[in-house]
A and B are shown apart, each in its own frame.
Chain A
């Protein structure tokens, strides 16, 4: 996938994994690995960025004798997902247009 296109989508993907409930690093990667190409080293800066922009918040919970960092979706993060939902309709139109023109090109 195009790097720029992927970059914008990754943030939204990470936010989307938190809609059903709070999560943690490895779980986020497991949830997304089949959807989009994401690695541990890619996730780290995304989480930092999202936390800085207020899209997520973190808290620690004791787990098997260690602390696990949990990630929570904030209202700002929810707004961003909502924004993406609105944008995606416009995106779909663009994709349809490109696909249709490609199809027409093939038929000629």
Chain B
């Protein structure tokens, strides 16, 4: 293979005029320096040059792609897919936490209702047994105070739950929007 053939082959393999010019100059310089044309050309492997040039082109394309939005989105999809083993257990844990909070809230409501019924039953029972009016009123007072404390605790808990839930949702959506 002579120089012209080598350059033609390089051009058809890479289509990179600049690269072909670069090798044209190198080969010419080496021949000028006294080396044999065929030996010079034989020292270059067109496939190898094309591969390394292709690698450079691929790197550039990848860079350009990550620069533009579509490419960026594609990467996020890949990242999201890669994070599935982590996000699924995280989502399950999150749902479990929400369910447990709901269960606690339900328990509080149930406790309040139970307390109400029990309190009413106790008052009725005390009247039947014939306890003194002052003791019944004292018991009723203590019962109402306990009920009020339970009520305040319940309200606070529900409020905290709502704040926590909003915080999670806002964080999640903000996170998604930022991407």
Contacts and interface: CB of A to CB of B under 8 A. Distances in A.
Chain A, interface SS category: helix
B29 A40 contact: no
B17 interface: no
Given A41-B49, A41-B52, A44-B19, A66 B44 contact: no
B28 interface: yes
Contacts of B30: 26
Interface in B1-48: 19, 21-23, 25-26, 28-30, 32-33, 44, 48
A54 B16 CA distance: 22
Contacts of A45: 52, 56
A64 B22 contact: no
Interface residue tally of chain B, by bracket? 10 to 19
A41 B48 contact: yes
A64 B30 CA distance: 13
B52 to A, nearest CB: 5
Interface residues of A, number: 15
A78 to B, nearest CB: 24
Contacts of B26: 25-26, 29, 40
Interface string A1-40: 0000000000000000000000011110100000000001
Contacts of A66: 25, 28
A45 B52 CA distance: 9
Interface of A: 24-27, 29, 40-41, 44-45, 47-48, 64, 66, 68-69
11 contacts: A24-B25, A25-B22, A26-B29, A27-B29, A40-B22, A40-B26, A44-B19, A44-B53, A48-B56, A64-B28, A68-B29
